[in-house]
Amino acid sequence: MSTSTTPPTTAPGANWARNYRYSAGTLHLPGTLEDLQRLVATSPRLRALGTRHCFNDVADSPGDLVGLQHLPTEVEVDPGARTVRVSAATSYGVLAEHLHRAGWALEAMASLPHISVAGGVATGTHGSGDRTRNLAAAVRALQLVGADGELRRVERGEEEFAGSVVALGLLGVVTHLELDVVPTYQVRQDVYSGLSFAALLEHFDEITSAAHSVSVYTDWVGEDTRQVWLKTRTADRPDAPHELFGATRASEPLHPLPEVDVRNATEQLGVPGPWHERLPHFRASFAPSNGVELQAEYLVPREHAVAGVAALRGIGPSIAHLLHMCEIRTVAADDLWLSGSCERDSVAFHFTFKQEQLEVIAALAEIEAALAGAGAAARPHWGKLFTADAHRLARLYPRWEDFRALVARHDPQRVFANAFTDRLGLTA
């Protein structure tokens, strides 16, 4: 390592939604990889903090935090290998712009291009599509700083790889990732209104397979859903249907949240554009989503999707007053141990709530019970709010105990453990 320097520090502050204030003592901002290694090696307790778009304490630490935004931004495409090597703190929006200029693309994007690559991967964040796996499934290799301060590289095909990708920051501070890329492509986006719940239940598979990426929005009130967003690869289909099982195509741009300026949303009305300007719901140049909100998300097995919709409709009247909107998406299966879609094609129910935390937590218990009653084993998004305890969660992931053993092997001194991972039983 090079001569010691003293990286700047700051107070950790709060998360993006301002519903959680970090309890860690200090946020360190190293400017070099050597400084980061030295910090990790000398810190008894440390966690990496990304773009703060988590709604719980998953990124907090009983010691200190470290942010990687002062490290150099690196985006290196290898056309022969069809991969890109990217620095961990780089946002998906910045990565996408680099890739598109070089003639390459990602298979999937999340709703927000503002989140960091490492943060999106570590928490199992996903886009949408019957054949589209989550963002972490694109990882071919990652480099991290382990608890001893040494660099370690894990590659696809290695024994520990499937447990090291969606890892909640428990195996070290990820510094770089290598992702699969594909040639760049064009996408058109069309929005539909007036899809009835009856049509959704009867034609669920046909609706979710109608485009490369499909999102259904509802507030669980009334006989109709609110909107259906189709994101279609123009190479697969240059047009879009005028109606969708009774829903009509919008003639003006719409936002998923009626109270939010539609200019924040990505371009619609079937105008073709680059993949990275259509697959996210929100433009990279605008503030993401609503801000004053809380979020929760549950992924259920694909075969229980219709039962899940029916169960949530049943409790709709009791949660509607707390809800901005709920989005329904599909995600293809992967083999990553802590992924919400590990070993099963999934349907995700994403809730955007008003910022009434105590009432929302009570509503989440009701939602989880409703999904369980419908036979839908609901896995939560790790970066959002949920009430499921360690006992319930351990039964939902076939490699849960393998992951616990992996963490114990690489971090026996609990450098990267925190209250969140202790509650889950992953580090307790």
pLDDT > 60? residue 272: yes
Domain shared by 276 and 134, yes or no: no
pLDDT > 90? residue 285: no
- Among 349, 336, 316, 308, which residue's Cα sits nearest to residue 162? 336
Interval 395-417 mean pLDDT? 97
Residue 91 structure tokens: 């946002």
- What is the domain-level CATH number for residue 63? 3.30.43.10
Q: What is the structure's pLDDT at 200? A: 97
Asked whether residue 176 is domain-assigned, the answer is: yes
Domain shared by 192 and 326, yes or no: yes
The domain boundary, picked from 184, 206, 232, lies at 184
pLDDT > 80? residue 291: no
HEC string of 149-205?
CCEEEEECCCCCHHHHCCCCCCCCEEEEEEEECEECCEEEEEEEECCEHHHHHHCHH
- The pLDDT confidence band at residue 262, using thresholds 50, 70 and 90, is confident
Distances from the Cα of 194 to the Cα of 141, 197, 222, 228, 299, angstroms: 44, 9, 11, 9, 25
pLDDT > 70? residue 2: no
- Among 218, 188, 424, 405, which residue's Cα sits nearest to residue 309? 218
Q: What is the structure's pLDDT at 375? A: 85
Domain shared by 138 and 272, yes or no: no
Asked whether residue 327 is domain-assigned, the answer is: yes
Q: Which domain holds residue 169?
A: 75-184
- Among 96, 86, 102, 97, which residue's Cα sits nearest to residue 140? 86
Asked whether residue 301 is domain-assigned, the answer is: yes
Interval 3-14 mean pLDDT? 82
Q: Is the Cβ–Cβ distance between 338 and 403 less than 8 Å?
A: yes
- Among 290, 281, 287, 231, which residue's Cα sits nearest to residue 260? 290
- What is the domain-level CATH number for residue 193? 3.30.70.2520
pLDDT > 80? residue 258: no
Residue 377 structure tokens: 């084993």
Alpha helix (H) ranges present in 43-182?
Answer: 92-101, 117-122, 161-164
pLDDT > 70? residue 3: no
pLDDT > 90? residue 148: yes
- The pLDDT confidence band at residue 172, using thresholds 50, 70 and 90, is very high
pLDDT > 70? residue 290: no
Interval 210-234 mean pLDDT? 95
pLDDT cut 70: percent of the chain above it: 98
Domain shared by 138 and 55, yes or no: no
- What is the domain-level CATH number for residue 113? 3.30.465.10
Asked whether residue 409 is domain-assigned, the answer is: no
How many other CB atoms sit within 10 Å of the CB of residue 245? 18
Q: What is the structure's pLDDT at 1? A: 46
Q: What is the structure's pLDDT at 261? A: 78
d(CA 128, CA 132): 6
How many other CB atoms sit within 10 Å of the CB of residue 273? 14
Count of structural domains, the chain: 3
The domain boundary, picked from 51, 67, 83, lies at 67
d(CA 71, CA 351): 34
Between 374 and 135, where is the model more confident?
Answer: 135
Domain shared by 253 and 368, yes or no: yes
Asked whether residue 412 is domain-assigned, the answer is: no
pLDDT cut 90: percent of the chain above it: 87
Whole-angstrom Cα Rg for the chain: 21
Tens-digit pLDDT profile for residues 346-365:
999 999 999 999 999 999 99
Question: If you ran DSSP here, which 8-state letter would residue 277 be given?
Answer: G
Domain shared by 293 and 382, yes or no: yes
Domain shared by 180 and 195, yes or no: no
The domain boundary, picked from 155, 184, 213, lies at 184
pLDDT > 90? residue 376: no
Q: What is the pTM of this model?
A: 0.95
Q: Is the Cβ–Cβ distance between 366 and 319 less than 8 Å?
A: yes
Q: How many residues would you count in the chain?
A: 428
Domain shared by 167 and 253, yes or no: no
Asked whether residue 235 is domain-assigned, the answer is: yes
Q: What is the structure's pLDDT at 7? A: 81
How many other CB atoms sit within 10 Å of the CB of residue 352? 20
Domain shared by 17 and 134, yes or no: no
Distances from the Cα of 163 to the Cα of 174, 399, 420, angstroms: 14, 8, 18
- Three-class secondary structure of residue 217 per DSSP: strand
Buried b (16+ CB within 10 A) or exposed e, 308-346: bbebbbebbeebeebbbbbbbbbbbbbebbbbbbbebbb
Beta bridge partners of 334: 342
Domain shared by 218 and 149, yes or no: no
Q: What is the structure's pLDDT at 6? A: 79
Average pLDDT, the chain: 94
Interval 220-229 mean pLDDT? 94
Tens-digit pLDDT profile for residues 31-85:
999 999 999 999 999 999 999 999 999 999 999 999 999 999 999 999 999 999 9
Q: Is the Cβ–Cβ distance between 71 and 34 less than 8 Å?
A: no
